[in-house]
Amino acid sequence: MANALRGLSKCGVAGFLPQVFSRHGPRTLPHLVCQKRNNSTSSKIKVDLDPSTGVAVMWMQSPPVNSLNLDLLTEFTTTLEKLEMDKSCRGVIITSSLPKIFSAGLDILEMYQTSPEHCGEFWKAVQELWLNLYGSKLTTIAAINGSSPAGGCLLSISCDYRVMADNPRYSIGLNETLLGIVAPYWFKDTMVNTVGHRTTELALALGKLYSAPEALKIGLVDELVPEDQVVNTAAQTMGKWLAINEPARQATKAMMRKPTIDKLLSNREADVHNFVSFITQASVQKSLGMYLKMLKSRKG
Ligand code: CO8
């Protein structure tokens, strides 16, 4: 289950190479796992894998807003792990099948008025998703076809490249402070690795949600395209990434991301403990409750 970069934490960059080169072995017949998943009625993710290009599209389909609850987090991680193991897959595009929403981020209801045990289980699933996605040896591209706050932004910035719909009404950012909570250090590190320290400092302190044009300006996304071309553009960009020598690209990715990943790997339990003790505080629960109320009142 461990992904390539996690393997690195034990064996260093040299340990990463054999796994990289093993991907050049004989290609297997197209995996059926992904197609099978599509038939599941309870599936929160639809996968289209094209073995001829080696590109899979993961469509999040969990109405109303693709909020990352325990089920979606778990299915996301399992799906990605299966694609990692599938020799016919070399790249993944992550997108949403819901109109106007990429992902509303972590499901607040998983953190509000739930038991410490549940919060701990939930947080482990959040860690697991990030470790798998940020450390994936596949090329990963976020096709952001709607708003993408907080955990949705984390999903996006954990990918190798981001294409967003050119619509100023869609926003993206780590807005945790607006909920009275603090972005964990590995959310912050991922953001720093994307846009730099000072921009992250401002973004996190103010809980800033950037419109798509603003996000492009600060480098939070790489490209804006008309809404109906987001996935196609991601597929074209994927073609360029897949043309790069694969072992070299993978080793470069590992070199860039390993220190950030190792920081959490060496500290996972403490991170769960910190999350649970923070999120269960009465004052934090009160803030989450008020934020949920605000979301509901906006509807009226
Ligand atoms: N979790 C749970 N429910 C949500 C969430 C969410 N993140 N987002 C929206 N919902 C619910 C709404 O309450 C509403 O519920 P209902 O239908 O029962 O009233 C339903 O989803 C639909 O929402 P909207 O009507 O608001 O839908 P819109 O299309 O108008 O807007 C948005 C979509 C823009 C996504 C909007 O819903 C929104 O801004 N949501 C909140 C996004 C947000 O702030 N997310 C932050 C989550 S926290 C996180 O990801 C990181 C936490 C790190 C924790 C660290 C602690 C130490």
| HEC assignment per residue over 91-140 | EEEEEECCCEECCCCECHHHCCCCCHHHHHHHHHHHHHHHHHHHCCCCEE
- The reply to whether ligand 1 has any atom less than 6 angstroms from the CB of 149 is yes
Ligand 1 centroid from CA 105, angstroms: 7
pLDDT tens digit sequence for 238-265: 999 999 999 999 999 999 999 999 999 9
CA distance 85 to 26: 14
Ligand 1 nearest-atom number relative to CA 108: 1
The residue whose CB lies within 8 Å of the most ligand 1 atoms, and thus the one to mutate among 295, 296, 297, is: 295
2 domain-assigned: no
186 domain-assigned: yes
Across the chain, mean pLDDT equals 89
Type of residue found at 176: E
Helix (H) or strand (E) holding 56: strand 55-60
What is the pTM (predicted TM-score) of this model?
0.90
252 domain-assigned: yes
Phi, psi of 56 (to 5 degrees): -110, 145
CA distance 210 to 161: 17
Ligand 1 centroid from CA 111, angstroms: 12
The β-bridge relationship of strands 171-173 and 210-211 is antiparallel
Residue numbers of the domain that contains 251: 7-292
What pLDDT score was predicted for residue 20? 27
pLDDT category at 19 given cuts 50, 70, 90 is very low
pLDDT tens digit sequence for 222-239: 999 999 999 999 999 999
The catalytic site residues sit at 106, 151, 175-176
Q: Is 24 helix (H, G, I), strand (E, B) or coil?
A: coil
**224 contact partners, CB below 8 Å, separation of at least 6:** 163, 164, 165, 166, 212, 213, 216
pLDDT tens digit sequence for 141-187: 999 999 999 999 999 999 999 999 999 999 999 999 999 999 999 99
297 domain-assigned: no
Domain total for the chain?
A: 1
164 domain-assigned: yes
Q: What is the mean pLDDT of residues 287-298?
A: 95
1 domain-assigned: no
CA distance 214 to 212: 5
181 domain-assigned: yes
Whether 24 contacts 87, CB under 8 Å? no
Query: Above 50 in pLDDT, residue 210?
Result: yes
The DSSP secondary-structure symbol of 222 reads S
CA distance 253 to 241: 12
250 domain-assigned: yes
Q: Which residue has the CA at smallest separation from atom 53 of ligand 1?
A: 183
CATH of the domain at 87: 3.90.226.10
Ligand 1 nearest-atom number relative to CA 171: 34
Q: Is 173 left (phi over 0), alpha (psi -120 to 50) or beta?
A: left
Query: Above 70 in pLDDT, residue 300?
Result: no
Tokens of 72: 């979606």
